[in-house]
Amino acid sequence: MPDYDYLRRRMVDKHLKRRGIEDPRVLDALGTIPRQDFVPGELAAQAYGDHALPIGADQTISQPWVVARMTEVLDLDAEHSVLEIGTGSGYQTAILSLLARRVYSLERVAELARRAIRRIRALGRINVKIQIFDGTVGWSEVAPFDRIMVTAGAPAVPKPLLDQLAPGGKLLIPEGGREGQRLTLYVKNAKGQVSRQTGDAVTFVPLVGRHGWPDGKNPRNT
Ligand code: SAH
């Protein structure tokens, strides 16, 4: 069996520190969560390369650098309540759970959500709630959120998510076309005014839902 602790330390050094990730809390979190447990068993040996990997249902776990970068830009503190859209493997969820008070995560594919719930439980993370529904409508019952992270590519930010962001809150979302997006940060000030700033180029699977892309298998507009 590969020495996963060694591979994980090497990932933090080679793919994160040397590529500009500086926040020690983020580096610690990626140095702690066993990424090999969040990919299909036959891909475990590749878990610490800096690339995305398939996780089933045509979806992917993001590459470590992107997870680290997004976590750093989101600027979390231990008191924050965080909403994540696109649980996928649950890896980013686990990272967030180490840095925030409470993490709410939404996934539209039931099979992925169930697996993620098992993994998060196995790690003993008790500050996480995962549910299965279209995250583009947000999660009004537990809103507002201090931070929101969307880990699927959207044509534009879903309005319900901006509405569910607390004053002083930050929302990070890959915005753009289906083939490529830019990490886009929305900041809401104490008066409720929102500013927008674009950053790194990224490639995410599409955010599919009421306020995202139409479902390819069931197009709403023909
Ligand atoms: N953060 C994940 C990467 C997820 S890939 C990880 O660390 O593994 C994006 C995920 O978003 C996919 O699992 C996809 O099914 C999900 N997704 C796409 N549209 C969604 C929506 N409207 N609501 C919830 N989840 C969605």
Closest by CA to 134, choosing from 109, 99, 97, 167, is 109
Q: What is the pLDDT of residues 138-192, one digit of tens each?
A: 999 999 999 999 999 999 999 999 999 999 999 999 999 999 999 999 999 999 9
pLDDT at 107: 98
Distance from C-alpha of 12 to C-alpha of 183, rounded to nearest angstrom? 21
pLDDT at 154: 98
Residue 127: how many CB atoms within 10 A of its CB?
Answer: 15
Kindly state if the Cβ of 164 falls inside 6 Å of ligand 1: no
**Residue nearest atom 2 in ligand 1 by C-alpha distance:** 88
Q: Is the pTM of this model over 0.85?
A: yes
**C-beta of residue 38 within 8 angstroms of C-beta of residue 61:** yes
Mind telling me the catalytic residues? Answer: 62
Choosing from 30, 205, 220 the residue with most ligand 1 atoms within 8 A of its CB, the one to mutate for a pocket test is 205
Between the CA of 105 and the centroid of ligand 1 the distance, in Å, is 10
Distance from C-alpha of 4 to C-alpha of 37, rounded to nearest angstrom? 10
Between the CA of 136 and the centroid of ligand 1 the distance, in Å, is 11
Q: What is the pLDDT of residues 58-80, one digit of tens each?
A: 999 999 999 999 999 999 999 99
Residue 112 alpha carbon, nearest atom of ligand 1: 13
DSSP state of 151: -
